[in-house]
């Protein structure tokens, strides 16, 4: 289960216990007091409203403190996720993916069937990212931004994704996904990553065709020693918004 969800559930349970104890004590204390004579119906309503307001004010500091603790724990979990993305040298490996011709497929299938395909695709991506110890930074529509602490798990995740898409489950639409991977330093803030290397990774993915995995020279350099991964000859490309000509490599799985 997601760590943030676990934190939220534990805080919610704590609030329920605090409220139960608080009102239980009040009930016992009130039971010991002499009961006033019965009041008219309208007076009972007024008394009930006043008592509820008093209780809410008394409980408010505890609720506020628990909410602040929850937010603090959520921030801590986010920061922990980002720290776990960093490699020993302080770099991060980013994988970007998106479905080729997604707009045309959406038009052909219709919104409901397309949304069903997106759910199935997201389930597959998240399963493989978890398998390879990655972290989905964010997703939008059919695109994903995923972080890894090392290039090799990112490459293996991408290979597994393409292999899974080559044999879609029955009744599933065949999808062609473009994948780009790059390694470098990035700035982390509010659970996201920013900087030139983030843009570089996204631009590498844009150079890929459906079914391809393209990696930067930085990734190839760190993965080249693995016998299970082969690369094509360098492909010189110009990346939008980034000066110069850069070499990218197609993974031949």
Quick one: 154 exposed, middle or buried, by C-beta within 10 A (0-12, 13-18, 19+)?
A: buried
Q: How many domains does the structure of the chain reveal?
A: 2
Residues 166/182, Cβ–Cβ less than 8 Å: no
63 & 90 share domain: no
Least confident of 54-63, 114-123, 167-176, 210-219: 54-63
Q: CA–CA separation, 18 vs 9, rounded Å?
A: 14
- Of 52, 83, 114, the residue at which a domain comes to its end is 83
Q: pLDDT by residue (tens digit) across 197-234?
A: 999 999 999 999 999 999 999 999 999 888 889 999 99
Q: Residues 228-248: what's their mean pLDDT?
A: 94
29 & 119 share domain: no
- Give the residue among 208, 104, 223, 100 at the shortest CA–CA distance from 157: 223
Q: Where residue 205 sits, what CATH number does that domain have?
A: 3.30.70.1230
pLDDT of res. 86: 78
More confident residue, 210 or 57: 210
- Which domain range does residue 38 map to? 3-83
Asked whether the predicted pLDDT for residue 90 surpasses 60, the reply is yes
166 & 212 share domain: yes
165 & 217 share domain: yes
pLDDT of res. 70: 42
pTM, rounded to two decimals: 0.69
91 & 52 share domain: no
145 & 243 share domain: yes
7 & 43 share domain: yes
């Amino acid at each position: 289960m997601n760590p943030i969800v676990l934190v939220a559930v534990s805080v919610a349970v704590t609030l329920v216990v605090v409220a139960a104890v608080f009102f239980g004590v009040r009930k016992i204390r009130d039971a010991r007091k002499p009961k006033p004579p019965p009041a008219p119906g309208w007076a009972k309503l007024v008394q009930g409203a006043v008592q509820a307001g008093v209780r809410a004010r008394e409980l408010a500091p505890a609720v506020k403190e628990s909410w602040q603790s929850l937010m603090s724990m959520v921030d801590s979990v986010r920061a922990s996720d980002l720290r776990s993305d960093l490699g020993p040298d302080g770099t991060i490996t980013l994988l970007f993916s998106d479905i080729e011709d997604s707009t045309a497929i959406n038009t052909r299938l219709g919104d409901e069937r397309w949304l069903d395909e997106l759910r199935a695709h997201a389930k597959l991506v998240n399963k493989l990212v978890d398998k390879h110890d990655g972290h989905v930074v964010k997703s939008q529509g059919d695109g994903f931004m995923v972080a890894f602490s090392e290039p090799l798990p990112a490459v293996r995740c991408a290979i597994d994704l393409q292999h899974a898409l080559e044999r879609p489950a029955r009744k599933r639409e065949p999808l062609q996904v473009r994948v780009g991977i790059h390694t470098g330093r990035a700035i982390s803030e509010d659970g996201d990553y920013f900087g030139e290397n983030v843009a570089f990774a996204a631009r590498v993915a844009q150079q890929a065709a459906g079914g391809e995995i393209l990696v930067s020279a930085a990734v190839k350099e760190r993965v080249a020693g693995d016998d299970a991964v082969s690369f094509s000859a360098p492909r010189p490309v110009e990346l939008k918004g980034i000066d110069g000509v850069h070499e990218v490599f197609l993974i031949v799985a």
